[in-house]
Amino acid sequence: MTRRRKKSRPEKAVPGKRQFLLPVLALLLTFIVRFVFILEMRGHPFSTISAQMVDAYYYHQRALDILNNNFWGSDVFFLRPLYSYLLAGVYAVFGQKVLVVQSLQALLATGSCFLLYDSARRIFNRTSALIAAFGFALTGILVFYTGTLLYVELTVLLSLLTLWLILIAKNKMWGWALAGIAFGLLVICRPELLLLLPFFLLILWRSKTSLRNLGILTAAAVLVIAIIPIRNLVVARDPVLFTAHSGINFYYGNNPVADGTWQPAGEFERAPGFSHLRLKQVAKTIDGKEVTWSKASNHWLRQGLNFIFSSPGKFLKLLGRKFLLFWSNYEVPNNYYPETAHQASFALKLAFVNFGLVAALGILGMVFAWPHRGRTWLVYLFIGGYFFSALVFYVLSRLRAPVIPFLLMFAGFGASELVSSVSSRKLVRLATGLAAVVILCIGFSLIPVDRESYSSQAWTQAGNIYLSQRQPKPALTAFGRALDANPENPSARYSLLVLLAGMGKANEAEQEYNKLARLAAREPRHRILALLGAARIAIARRDFPAAVRLYQDAIRQDPTNAETHYLLGLVHVSMDSLDSAYQHLTRAITLDPSHTEARSALNRVESHLRR
């Protein structure tokens, strides 16, 4: 007995050091890769606070509103509110610095990696946990979203924190209370995950968790979640459960022209471009009357349900498309585009692990783990929750990203089982597992997606940001790439026209206008872009009266476009028609209070009028 104890101590000492060292290396790698990526993106359109980054710009504007003594706001929350408050806190301490926000998110990602490792260790084993942790550090799309001004990193952290707190809670009241709080905050970020709560309770009850602890978990979660509807009712006198855009989002994902991704439809396609201000104006007007947000959201929810029940065949086909998109290796972009960032980033190239590989190994791990369920049920449940969310709404890379850590847990287990098959000489099991992973990886890569269209959108966005920063050369390159990917992209064509006209190349701009006019002739909804393009060429040729007529025509088609009123105001300034300029610049600010260029131009006009 004594001899055995003496032998076991030195044998365990070295593995103990490795057990400590390898997780720390995974955490360091997580932070370093993300921080390098963030530094690489400085000065790149990716790290710009711009109206082109639609949702991120909304969160930024809402954070500024919070700081300007409007903590609770004055209307129903339109988008999920938690991230705006996080931004406001960072801005209050450090100022409006994107790098600080990104660095904080890199720290949050490092915390998520620890939670992933420790959760996988508790549920599976240390080898599975290490594979999952290193996979997390080197998953490219997770690195990418660490740098975005979106709630992805927060959702990943809260998802893993909820699981980890449940695993460590045991019989401690504070542990179950914290787990409930974490889950409540997660639901505020992703309201549809509220549906997971009864399944959590069922799984935990079956695993002999006491009713007292389940009650604490539920009470803490409900108290946190209740903050949102109570706030909406008190502030706006409107009983909206979570956010005003929930019904609209459901309609976007379920309508006759839906394709499984985020696509504006019907009333929302009246004019080019997209902003939340214009979305609010359209979404809240039902049958020509402005209604409350609760009624508007219910209206769009009913519209989506009407499509489902009136066209079951189309809906089932759409559901199948969403299923495929969820497992596609392609990251369907929205607001932020991995393609433009990947080209400029060594860190993203280093982070080679993609969704297809994680999903393939993850599915293998789910199969291997099925006979040993128990606490793995919680991991299955998180995967099921995010999968269900995609089927109910639509598939986007940033909405799918939080499922990756849970797939990584199973991927780590699947990979460790393949390794153990080698040592135990279970060659049939090894060959079958490897073949399944390869087939799944290939299959996930072959799911058809309109890559050219997304590539064109990506470079158009980058070009527009360069254009707003007065960087004509990179803008010209970006628009060229956008049109190479999709020559039929009217937004890219119009933006290139604006750039060329601004550079004094009126003849080249007119050539682009002729191509844009041909697109508008085939698709009437692009006619307004043709009008705006013709007005820009008229300005370049100093034909201001023609520009005024063209902009007025565009305003008649879309009177809610703040940018058109702004541009017409500038034309009137050039014509020294300051009263008319004042009128249209004021209208632009009324439609979009965050339009800083219009406000600056209006201040100059007011100064001249006072003189």
More confident residue, 557 or 90: 90
Task: Give the number of other Cβ atoms within 10 Å of residue 400's Cβ.
Answer: 22
Lowest mean pLDDT among 159-163, 306-310, 598-602: 598-602
The confidence band for 417, taking pLDDT boundaries of 50, 70 and 90, is very high
pLDDT of residue 312 exceeding 80, the answer is yes
Categorize the per-residue pLDDT at 595 as very low, low, confident or very high, splitting at 50, 70 and 90: confident
Highest mean pLDDT among 71-75, 100-104, 205-209: 100-104
Hey, CA dihedral for 169, 171, 174, 179, is it positive or negative? Answer: positive
Q: For residues 77 and 371, what is the distance between their CA atoms, to the nearest angstrom?
A: 44
Nearest residue to 466 via CA among 48, 126, 36, 78? 48
pLDDT at site 99: 94
Q: How far is CA 408 from the centre of its chain?
A: 20
Query: For the residues 478-507, what does the mean pLDDT come to?
Result: 91
pLDDT at 429 over 50: yes
Identify residue 75 by its one-letter amino acid code.
Answer: D
Contact 433, 364 (CB under 8 A): yes
| Residue 8: per-residue pLDDT | 35
Instruction: Say what the pLDDT of residue 9 is.
Output: 41
Q: How high is the pLDDT of residue 76?
A: 87
Average pLDDT over residues 595-607: 87
CATH class given for the domain over 452-610: mainly alpha
Residue with the two structure tokens 């502030």: 235
Domain ranges of the chain: 2-230+333-446, 452-610
pLDDT band at 18 (very low <50, low <70, confident <90, very high): low
To the nearest whole percent, how much of the chain has pLDDT over 70?
Answer: 95
DSSP 140-201: HHHHHHHTSSSSHHHHHHHHHHHHHHHHHHTT-HHHHHHHHHHHHHHHHHSGGGGGGHHHHH
Which band of pLDDT confidence, cut at 50, 70 and 90, is reported for residue 528? confident
Q: Is 576 left (phi over 0), alpha (psi -120 to 50) or beta?
A: left
Contacts of 608 (CB under 8 A, 6+ apart): 578
Is residue 57 scored above 60 in pLDDT? yes
Q: Is the pLDDT assigned to residue 276 strictly greater than 70?
A: no
Query: Are residues 365 and 411 in contact, defined by beta-carbon separation less than 8 angstroms?
Result: yes
3-class SS at 367? helix
**CB 95, CB 186: distance < 8 Å:** no
Give the list of residues 6+ apart from residue 466 with CB closer than 8 angstroms, or none: 45, 472, 474, 475, 478
Using pLDDT thresholds of 50, 70 and 90, give the confidence band for residue 115: very high
Confidence bin at 17 (pLDDT 50/70/90): low
Summarised one tens digit per residue, pLDDT across range 325-361 is 999 999 999 889 999 999 889 999 999 999 999 999 9
CA distance 410 to 358: 9
Comparing 340 with 608, which gets the higher pLDDT?
A: 340
Q: What is the pLDDT of residue 167?
A: 94
CA distance 105 to 288: 43
Q: For residue range 188-207, what is the model confidence (pLDDT) as tens digits?
A: 999 999 999 999 899 889 88
589/537 Cα distance (integer angstroms): 25
Contacts of residue 390, defined as CB under 8 A and 6 or more positions apart, other chains included, come to 322, 325, 326, 399, 400
